[in-house]
Structure 1
Amino acid sequence: MKVKPKTVGGQAVIEGVMMKGINTVVAVKRKDGKISIKTIKDNSWGIIEKIPIIRGFFVLLHSMIIGMNALSYSANISGEEDEDLTTKDMVIAILFAIVIATLGFGVLPVLITKPFKIQSEFLFAFIEGLIRAALVIAYIWAISFMKDIKRVFQYHGAEHKSVHTYENNEPLETAYAKKYTTLHPRCGTSFLIITVFASIIVFAISGGFGWNSTWEKIISRIVLLPIVAGVAYEFQRFTAKIIDTKIGKILAYPGLTLQKITTKEPDEEQLNIGLLSLKYALDENFNGEIVVDIQNTNDEKSVVSNKEVNNILLQ
């Protein structure tokens, strides 16, 4: 029997939630109201995901690949797309995302800051970091008004409530999960804002090596992005470990504040789906794909209740 993990995590997808526990599982609401649940292939990348600083970039890349698989499945099952993404499609999508992130996160802030002719490398990196933060927040805020994104943000809240329930050793049922916050210190949203702060430190140091021309700064921002991601990853892990202390709460505050945009209070059905995904992610015997007809707590017409599913998985 596999040991249940101390921590679990996940990602909101289209009309569903992906969870990573013993298995990586995605649960998605179909057009007929039933829930499709499927394991996602998620093999470890070995030692490269365990080396401090270095691991941050590769954990992020690994998560992107798994996330794209889950998003492709959710889009197909929920009826948003007619076909799953091919491997070629996903490679192109991931490369495109990396290019956009590099241009928007690395290059554009340099071009905006350079005309100010700031001599201090730390001050340049600081102003550049503020611009980078403003771009990230503006983008997230803008997309939060989209109807489909609002639902994804609700599922994001369901994911966090489910994780909190598990981490507090309570039954994975809506009655217990409802009371928890939609904010979580290990969230990817927090990682974004931590990355902004990490970039100020890393890029200020790189400026000290004499990389001061516009092109040198742009190239250094692109080359050093994996290091920035690594520093941010280690900082977030550290913060999550001390989250119950006063200093931990202070360090986590910016990321948790940004999550108030990217997470919304889920309805009961969405919370059920998040919990269901986590239950199957914790079931070492589950492998494959099934369809579950699961009720909301007030819906007496459903075939399988939340409690019954929980009992099945505990057998």
Structure 2
Amino acid sequence: MKEKPKTVGGQAVIEGVMMKGVNTVVAVKRKDGNISIKSLKDKSWGIWEKIPLIRGFFVLLHAMITGMQALSYSAKMSGEEDEELTTKDMVIAILIAVVVATLGFGVLPVYATKPFNITSEFWFAFIEGFIRAFLVVAYIWGISFMKDIKRVFQYHGAEHKSVYTYENGEPLEEKYAKKYTTLHPRCGTSFLIITVFASIVVFAITGGLGFNSMLEKVLSRIILLPLVAGLAYEFQRITAKIINTKIGKVLAYPGMMLQKITTKEPDSEQLKIGLISLQYALKEDFEGEVVLDKAGNEIEFDSANTEVFST
């Protein structure tokens, strides 16, 4: 028997929530009002996710791959797409995301800082980090006005409320979950802003070591992004452990404030889906796919054509 995890987590998807507990599952609201639930392939990467500093990058990459599976399934079940992505499609999508993130997060701020003619490597890294933070916040704030993104952010809030309910040892029911905040210290949104601060430290050091030309700055930003992600991951783990202390609250504050954009208060149905996703993620014997009707009863599922039949 698998031991129940001390902590759980997940992410919001299109009209649903992915949760990782004993298993990794995604629950999605269908157009007919029923809820489709599927267990995802999500094997541990072993030692690569256990070595300090290095593990942060691999945990992030692992999460991207699993998240892509969940997004593909949710798009199909919610009616946004006709087919799930193939493995080839997912690889291409992840590569594009990595390239865009590297150029936008790593390279663009360097060129945006260059016109200031800053000679101090520390202040160059600081202004560069400020620009990087501005770009991240501006992008998130901009997309938050999109109708579909607003709903994803509500499901993000439902995910956090569900996680808090489990972590506090309460039954996974709406009456217990709704009282919790939508802000959580282990959130990926917080990871983004922590990564910005980590980049200032790392790139100030590389500048001090003599990597001062524009080419050297750009290459160091690309090559050292995994290290920056690793440092941010370790810092977030420490912060989450001491979140109830004064220093923990101070350290977590920037990320928690950014979550005020990326999480919204979920409605009753969205919270229900978040809780259902977590319930199935904690089922040791759950595999494959099921559909719940509006009353919460499992009904037969034909994976070939996604039709459901009363049992």
Pairwise CA distance, 1:209: 1.4
Q: Which residue of structure 2 aligns with residue 197 of structure 1?
A: 197
- The SS at the match of 1:164 is helix
Rounded Cα–Cα distance in structure 2 between residues aligned with 1:2 and 1:93: 33
Pairwise CA distance, 1:270: 0.2
Rounded Cα–Cα distance in structure 2 between residues aligned with 1:84 and 1:175: 34
Q: Which residue of structure 2 aligns with residue 260 of structure 1?
A: 260
Ranges of 4+ aligned residues in structure 1 off by more than 3 Å:
none
Pairwise CA distance, 1:115: 1.4
Pairwise CA distance, 1:123: 0.6
Pairwise CA distance, 1:303: 5.7
Rounded Cα–Cα distance in structure 2 between residues aligned with 1:175 and 1:220: 50
Q: How does 1:265-284 map to 2 (within 5 A)?
A: 265-284=265-284
Q: Which residue of structure 2 aligns with residue 122 of structure 1?
A: 122
Q: How does 1:137-152 map to 2 (within 5 A)?
A: 137-152=137-152
Rounded Cα–Cα distance in structure 2 between residues aligned with 1:197 and 1:87: 34
Letter of the 1:156 counterpart: H
Rounded Cα–Cα distance in structure 2 between residues aligned with 1:303 and 1:127: 52
Letter of the 2:84 counterpart: D
Q: Which residue of structure 2 aligns with residue 105 of structure 1?
A: 105
Pairwise CA distance, 1:203: 0.4
- The SS at the match of 2:25 is strand
Q: Deviations over 1:159-191 (max 9, x none)?
A: 000000000000000000000000000000000
Letter of the 2:108 counterpart: L
Pairwise CA distance, 1:304: 3.6
Pairwise CA distance, 1:208: 1.2
Q: Deviations over 1:1-54 (max 9, x none)?
A: 211100000000000000000000000000100000000000000001000000
Rounded Cα–Cα distance in structure 2 between residues aligned with 1:204 and 1:293: 56
Rounded Cα–Cα distance in structure 2 between residues aligned with 1:57 and 1:285: 30
Q: Deviations over 1:87-132 (max 9, x none)?
A: 1110110000001000110100000101111111111000000000
Rounded Cα–Cα distance in structure 2 between residues aligned with 1:250 and 1:267: 30
Letter of the 1:238 counterpart: I
Rounded Cα–Cα distance in structure 2 between residues aligned with 1:303 and 1:165: 20
- The SS at the match of 1:291 is strand
How many residues are matched?
Answer: 298
- The SS at the match of 1:128 is helix
Q: Which residue of structure 1 aligns with residue 211 of structure 2?
A: 211
Letter of the 1:207 counterpart: G
**Cα-Cα RMSD:** 0.9
Rounded Cα–Cα distance in structure 2 between residues aligned with 1:201 and 1:99: 23
Q: Which residue of structure 2 aligns with residue 309 of structure 1?
A: none
Rounded Cα–Cα distance in structure 2 between residues aligned with 1:117 and 1:228: 25
Aligned-residue identity in percent = 80
Q: Which residue of structure 2 aligns with residue 136 of structure 1?
A: 136
Letter of the 1:105 counterpart: F
- The SS at the match of 2:276 is helix
Unaligned 5+ runs, structure 2: 299-311
Answering whether residue 173 of structure 2 is matched by residue 173 of structure 1, we say yes
Q: Which residue of structure 2 aligns with residue 297 of structure 1?
A: none
Q: Which residue of structure 2 aligns with residue 54 of structure 1?
A: 54
Letter of the 1:84 counterpart: E
Unaligned 5+ runs, structure 1: 295-301, 306-315
Q: Which residue of structure 2 aligns with residue 313 of structure 1?
A: none
Rounded Cα–Cα distance in structure 2 between residues aligned with 1:183 and 1:260: 7
Rounded Cα–Cα distance in structure 1 between residues aligned with 2:290 and 2:221: 45
Pairwise CA distance, 1:293: 1.3
Rounded Cα–Cα distance in structure 2 between residues aligned with 1:154 and 1:115: 40
Letter of the 1:127 counterpart: I
